Amino acid sequence: MSPRAASLTDRGHWCAPPMPIGDQSYFLFATTREQLDYLRFPLGDMTKPQTRELARRFGLEVADKQDSQDICFVPTGRYTDIIGRLKPGAIEPGDIVDLNGHVIGQHQGIVHFTVGQRKGLGIASAAPLYVVKLDAASRRVVVGPREALRMDRIQLRDVNWIGDGALDRVIGAGIEMFVRVRSTRAPQPAWLRAVDGGYEVELVAGEEGVSPGQACVFYDAPSGQARVLGGGFIRSATARKVARAGVQDITAPPLAEVMRG
């Protein structure tokens, strides 16, 4: 079993509270224990429908407010505009290549693509193609079959641990837990291990669309009242099958990383 995250009553400090999977808990992984001492989560484990019903009961205007989509802090709603200003290279044309590096099409900027994308590639193909890698330096979009998306090992950077005890002491030969590699994905069983001075996650069943720069968040359960144990940013991802030349080490930064600069 994974170690439980600490709480105020049994450990003397706060950790991210139990939350139903699918909420904003994914974005709390980098919160430190010191910061959590000042935080309170008044909605607790309430769902969005329950929260809206309470808002109606108290006559709050936000009860029926439309859900925000995409990145709400961009005034126009088009993230390509802000990325184009911060990183002009992301909107410059480039090549679309297959797993062997053969040019099979052109694009109008890697800003328009994300790992795992299938639609909107503008390529005629007998079989479905997916974006498996974004090479920002060469402005190349690498595409391949769906099976090329599945990664098994994730190398992390900037790992933050808010679970029970110090990570380096409790990790031992590895910690069994559940991880999310995207906010919309369900947590998957995995092992967290210390490797070569850093940390690596081994996914039990693999995961598609693992993108460098995204967060890999640790939970102690796959659903329900799961607790956030911490997480880190994805540095790179690899697949067990060495036959997939060209997609073994997915290290090119995605758009989120491009924005960070």
Chain segment 8-18, per-residue pLDDT in tens: 323 333 344 44
Give the least confident one: 92-96, 147-151, 252-256. Answer: 252-256
pLDDT greater than 80 at residue 199: yes
pLDDT of residue 69: 60
For the chain, give the mean pLDDT.
79
pLDDT of residue 77: 64
Tell me the per-residue pLDDT of 216-261, one tens digit each, with 9 for 90 and over.
999 998 887 788 999 999 999 988 764 344 444 544 343 333 333 3
Give the least confident one: 20-34, 119-133, 242-256. Answer: 242-256
Portion of the chain with pLDDT greater than 90, in percent: 33
pLDDT of residue 230: 95
**3-class SS letters over the chain:** CCCCCCCHHHHCCCCCCCECCCCHHHHHCCCCHHHHCCCCCCCCCCCHHHHHHHHHHCCCHHHHCCCCCCCCCCCCCCHHHHHHHHCHHHHCCEEEECCCCCEEEEECCHHHCCCCCCCCCCCCCCCCCEEEEEECCCCEEEEECHHHHCEEEEEEEEEEECCCCCHHHHCCCCEEEEEECCCCCCCEEEEEEEECCEEEEEEEEEECCCCCCCEEEEECCCCCCECEEEEEEEEEEECCCCCCCCCCCECCCCHHHHHHC
Tell me the per-residue pLDDT of 152-185, one tens digit each, with 9 for 90 and over.
999 999 999 999 899 988 898 889 999 999 888 8
pLDDT greater than 70 at residue 118: yes
